[in-house]
């Protein structure tokens, strides 16, 4: 039986090296149930730290229960959707598990999303409750009537600190956000929690593994925002797989939780994984690469998990001998890691005291986060590694279900417990992405090209869909183009990614105006205003170039690769 498995899953030999089981027993329970089990085993371990303020598992569970009672007090019912528009703060992660505890669904959104995007995210999820960081409260408050919001819970970034630190932080850093005086729909976090005492009924609903737990957003195959539905078992399986694949996941270890909780990699790998294993999350709400060295020195993390730009920042940080001695694991995801950067990171780790070697993860929101991880023993160019336990990978010839032979490129398809439930409210896109093959299994078509190596591991080649990855965030050119083209003066446009020394790539737009319109500051300002209303800050084009025409391919499509070549030649 094992030989048959190894033929179908040639990567299993690497499992033996790491002590990883081929299959995992996945519990039929909610996300919060696993965290509570962790708290029972390791009550006095630190669950998270926030600017040095530490909270044990025992106290973290109490905070979750208090927030769950508060949600019930404000009328949140099983199956309701609660929008969480937060960076990595104690209140943010507490709310994720409190929402899960009452049987509701977390609708995770980026605080830097445009007002139009926020409106879409709230409406598509049919969410009547929103938790928001105070800095972006105004954007949410404008939507209170159009989105028919019943409650807006406002959090200040200093709320999760101890009294003295909170006072200092407030004095030095926080600009007061003015809240409406007479709107009962708006409540501050501290008042929200205080009102939990008014609810004395049941607040812990039993939910199964297959129940919807989290909604996150992805560009799908077209680039327009898609609401990805993830079940309890999806998120739990991600974390249980991580623990089984990374031997350094041990109780008491600490993870530098920089990747945000509204990002699948952030929630799954940097928050939920440590919290089901008695580990500690070092919560970083906003990352500043200039302060990276100080963050590491102060917190002495065991795990550094991030995107390539974060590791680029690491190798450019001023460190002293021994500063990285605490680091036992370094995991990179979100984008391809080239050999040059890999070697720089490994050299940096070794020079400053760490024995860790960087490992590469591959994943996508539709796959609950990471679905593949390179072994500690191997690193070749393009490697994304061995699939997670219980996951099947298949490389198929484009536009067919035919499996490609070893070494031949094709589309990467995955099947198993990490595959999403589907796209909320979009059956057409779901049917294009999730397909039943001749083997009777449901396969997720990733839109990424790769191949199975002779060594039995998976390698990444290129993307089928046009995409720009900037600091780990996916930006879809076709989506940006559709917004630019909606301006009355624009005939057509093309957006490409141009190289950036820190972010990897950033978008640049090439615009052709209609006859009778002339390029100039006024038109560019109008287009920029249009984009800022509809696109998150991180996805805004950094430059607009007006042209009389754009280069075309032989079949009449815009030759965006020519534009990319032009930009590279300029630099």
Q: What is the pTM of this model?
A: 0.85
Indicate whether 34 pLDDT > 90: yes
Most confident of 217-221, 234-238, 333-337, 394-398: 234-238
Compute the average pLDDT of residues 380-405. 89
Query: For residue 413, is pLDDT > 70?
Result: yes
Find all residues with CB under 8 Å of 505, minimum gap 6, and list them.
Answer: 468, 469, 470, 497, 498, 499
User: How crowded is residue 341: how many other Cβ atoms within 10 Å of its Cβ?
Assistant: 18
CA angle at residue 17 from 12 to 21, to 5 degrees?
Answer: 50
Q: Give the least confident one: 134-143, 399-408, 424-433, 439-448.
A: 399-408
Q: What percentage of the chain has pLDDT greater than the value 70?
A: 93
Query: What is the mean pLDDT of the segment spanning 20-24?
Result: 90
Name the token pair of 460: 């990444």
Residue in 314, 287, 278, 305 with CA at minimum distance from that of residue 370:
305
Q: Quick check: 206 pLDDT over 60?
A: yes
Residue 450 in 3-state DSSP? strand
The set of residues, in sequence order, having a beta carbon less than 8 Å from that of 480 and lying 6+ positions away, is: 223, 495, 507, 509, 531, 535, 539, 541
Q: Can you say whether the dihedral through the CA atoms of 6, 11, 17, 18 is positive or negative?
A: negative
> Does the pLDDT at position 444 exceed 70?
yes
- Is the pLDDT assigned to residue 221 strictly greater than 70? no
Mean residue pLDDT across the chain: 89
CA separation for the pair 294, 284 (Å, rounded)? 12
Asked if residue 251 has pLDDT above 70, the reply is: yes
Question: Could you say which DSSP state residue 269 is in?
Answer: I
Phi and psi angles of residue 125, each rounded to the nearest 5 degrees, phi first: -85, -10
Q: How confident is the model at residue 516, as a pLDDT? A: 87
Distance between first and last Cα of the chain: 56
- pLDDT more than 90, % of the chain: 63
**Residue 159 pLDDT class (50, 70, 90 cuts):** low
Q: What strand order describes the sheet that includes 105-108?
A: 186-188, 151-155, 129-133, 81-85, 105-108, 212-218, 226-231, 422-423
Which residue, among 273, 278, 275, 281, has the nearest Cα to 252 in the 3D structure? 278
The CB density around residue 146, as the number of other CB atoms within 10 Å, is 10
Question: Of 147, 109, 131, 103, which Cα lies nearest the Cα of 193?
Answer: 131
**Distance in angstroms (rounded) separating the CA atoms of residues 105 and 81:** 5
Measure the CA–CA gap between 36 and 45, rounded to whole angstroms: 13
What are the pLDDT digits (tens) for 467-508? Answer: 788 877 888 888 888 899 889 999 888 898 888 887 888 999
Distance of CA 406 to the CA centre of its chain: 31
DSSP string covering 196-259? GGG--S-------TTSEEEEEEE-TTTSS-EEEEEEHHHHHHHHHHHHHH-TT--TT-EEEE-S
Least confidently predicted of 125-134, 153-162, 538-547: 153-162
Q: What is the pLDDT of residue 556?
A: 58
Asked which of 274-283, 433-442, 529-538 is least confident by mean pLDDT, the reply is: 529-538
Q: What pLDDT, on a 0 to 100 scale, did the predictor assign at position 254?
A: 98
The answer to whether residue 175 scores a pLDDT higher than 60 is no
Neighbours of 455 (CB within 10 A): 15
Q: Is the pLDDT of residue 358 over 70?
A: yes
Cα–Cα dist 339/342, whole Å: 5
The answer to whether the CB of 374 falls within 8 A of the CB of 383 is: yes
Q: Which domains does the chain have, with CATH numbers?
A: 2-25+228-462 (3.40.50.12780), 54-207 (3.40.50.980), 468-570 (3.30.300.30)
Residues 6+ apart with CB under 8 A from 320: 352
Res 499: pLDDT: 87
Q: Which of 24-28, 221-225, 393-397, 546-550 has the lowest mean pLDDT?
A: 221-225
The CA-CA-CA angle for residues 266, 508, 482, to 5°, reads: 85
pLDDT for the residue 571: 66
Place of tokens 């070092």: 282
Angle 461-462-468 (CA atoms, 0-180°, nearest 5)?
A: 145
Q: Report the alpha-carbon distance of residue 485 to residue 469 in Å, rounded.
A: 22
Name the residue with higher pLDDT: 223 or 457.
457
Q: How far apart are CA 61 and CA 18, in angstroms?
A: 32
Q: What is the pairing mode between strands 543-546 and 473-475?
A: unpaired
For the ranges 97-106, 191-200, 498-507, which has the lowest average pLDDT?
Answer: 498-507
pLDDT of residue 118: 94
User: What is the predicted pLDDT for the residue at 166?
Assistant: 55
**Least confident piece of the model among 142-151, 158-167, 244-253, 438-447:** 158-167
CA distance 160 to 372: 34
- In this predicted structure, the answer to whether residue 25 has a pLDDT above a threshold of 60 is yes
Residue reference for tokens 């042209």: 547
pLDDT of residue 3: 46
Residue 164 has pLDDT above 50, yes or no: no
């Amino acid at each position: 039986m094992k030989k048959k498995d190894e033929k179908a899953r040639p990567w299993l030999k690497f499992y033996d090296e790491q002590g990883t089981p081929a299959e995992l027993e996945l519990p039929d329970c909610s996300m919060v149930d696993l965290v509570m089990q962790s708290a029972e085993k390791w009550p006095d371990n630190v669950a998270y730290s926030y600017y040095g303020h530490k909270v044990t598992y025992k106290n973290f569970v109490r905070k979750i229960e208090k927030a769950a009672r508060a949600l019930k007090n404000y009328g949140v019912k099983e199956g309701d959707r609660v929008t969480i528009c937060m960076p990595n703060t104690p209140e943010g992660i507490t709310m994720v598990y409190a929402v899960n505890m009452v049987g509701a669904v977390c609708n995770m959104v980026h605080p830097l999303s445009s007002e139009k995007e926020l409106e879409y995210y709230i409406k598509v999820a049919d969410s009547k409750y929103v938790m928001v960081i105070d800095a972006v409260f105004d954007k949410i408050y404008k939507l209170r009537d159009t989105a028919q919001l019943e409650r807006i819970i406002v959090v200040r970034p200093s709320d999760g600190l101890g009294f003295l630190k909170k006072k200092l932080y407030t004095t030095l850093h926080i600009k007061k956000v003015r809240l409406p005086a007479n709107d009962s729909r708006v409540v501050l976090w501290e008042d929200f929690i205080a009102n939990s005492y008014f609810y004395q009924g049941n607040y812990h609903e039993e939910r199964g593994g297959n129940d919807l737990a989290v909604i996150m957003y992805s560009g799908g195959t077209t680039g327009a925002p898609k609401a990805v539905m993830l079940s309890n078992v999806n998120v739990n399986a991600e974390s249980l797989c991580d623990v089984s694949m990374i031997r350094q996941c041990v109780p008491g270890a600490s993870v530098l939780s920089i990747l945000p909780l509204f990002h699948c990699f952030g929630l799954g790998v940097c928050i939920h994984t440590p919290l089901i294993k008695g580990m500690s999350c070092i919560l970083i709400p906003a990352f500043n690469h200039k302060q990276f060295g100080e963050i590491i020195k102060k917190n002495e993390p065991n795990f550094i998990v991030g995107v390539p730009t974060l590791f680029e920042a690491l190798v450019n940080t001023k460190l002293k001998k021994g500063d990285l001695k605490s680091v036992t694991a370094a995991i990179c995801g979100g984008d391809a890691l080239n050999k040059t950067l890999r070697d720089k990171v490994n050299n940096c780790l070794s020079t400053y005291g760490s024995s860790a070697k960087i490992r590469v993860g591959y994943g996508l929101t539709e796959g609950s986060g990471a679905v593949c991880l390179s072994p500690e023993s191997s690193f070749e160019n393009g490697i994304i590694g061995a699939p997670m336990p219980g996951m099947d990978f298949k490389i198929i010839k484009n536009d067919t279900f035919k499996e490609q032979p070893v070494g031949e490129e094709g589309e990467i398809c995955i099947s198993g417990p990490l595959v999403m439930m589907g796209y909320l409210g979009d059956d057409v896109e779901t049917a294009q992405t999730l397909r039943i093959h001749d083997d009777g299994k449901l396969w997720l078509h990733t839109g990424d090209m790769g191949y199975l190596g002779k060594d039995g591991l998976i390698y990444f080649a290129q993307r089928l869909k046009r995409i720009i990855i900037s600091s780990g965030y996916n930006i879809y050119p076709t989506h940006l183009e559709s917004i630019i083209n909606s301006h009355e003066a624009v005939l057509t446009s093309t957006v490409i990614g141009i190289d950036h020394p820190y972010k990897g790539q950033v978008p640049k737009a090439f615009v052709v105006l209609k006859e009778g319109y002339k390029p100039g500051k006024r038109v560019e300002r109008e287009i920029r205003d249009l984009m800022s209303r509809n696109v998150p800050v991180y996805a805004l084009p950094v430059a607009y170039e007006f042209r009389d025409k754009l280069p075309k391919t032989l079949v009449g499509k815009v030759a965006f690769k020519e534009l990319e070549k032009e930009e590279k030649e300029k630099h």
